[in-house]
Amino acid sequence: MSKGIRLSPKHGVNPSLGLCWICGETNGEVILAGHLKDDVEAPRQGVWDRHPCSTCTEWMRQGVILIRVKDGSQDEPFRLGSLSVLKDSAVARCFGDQSPALKSRVAYVEDAAWQKMGLPT
């Protein structure tokens, strides 16, 4: 049996709106965070999980979502605001037939490579 939400003494149910981790748009989720560490207030909106929104899910059916990031930031990707969707065949040509992006459906691409590929900024 679930114990439910542990309420915050300061913030009650401590609500937040969920954002898609891929595109950053609202995903329709309302998060009831309750008590967080040090009883901090939940952000008004934020990424709470790695489930794509319905738009990104559809894009992933069509191809692989590429996310443009700052050069040298692959370990901690610093996003530059551009997304593109490439068909599987294009991803295989650019990154190889065994590219992990073909399985994950999402990949970070450093800016220099993005520019060489001629993707829109």
pLDDT at site 82: 94
- Range with lowest mean pLDDT among 1-5, 44-48, 95-99: 1-5
pLDDT at site 2: 58
As a whole number of angstroms, the distance between CA 107 and CA 112 comes to 15
Domains of the chain by residue range? 1-51, 63-117
Residues 6+ apart with CB under 8 A from 22: 52, 53, 56, 65, 67, 83, 106
Give pLDDT tens digits for 68-96: 999 999 789 999 999 999 999 999 998 99
Q: Structure pTM? A: 0.83
pLDDT at site 4: 77
* 6, pLDDT greater than 60: yes
- Average pLDDT along the chain: 93
Backbone dihedral angles phi then psi of residue 120, each to the nearest 5 degrees:
-70, 145
- In three-state secondary structure terms, 101 is helix
**% pLDDT > 90, the chain:** 88
Average pLDDT over residues 41-59: 94
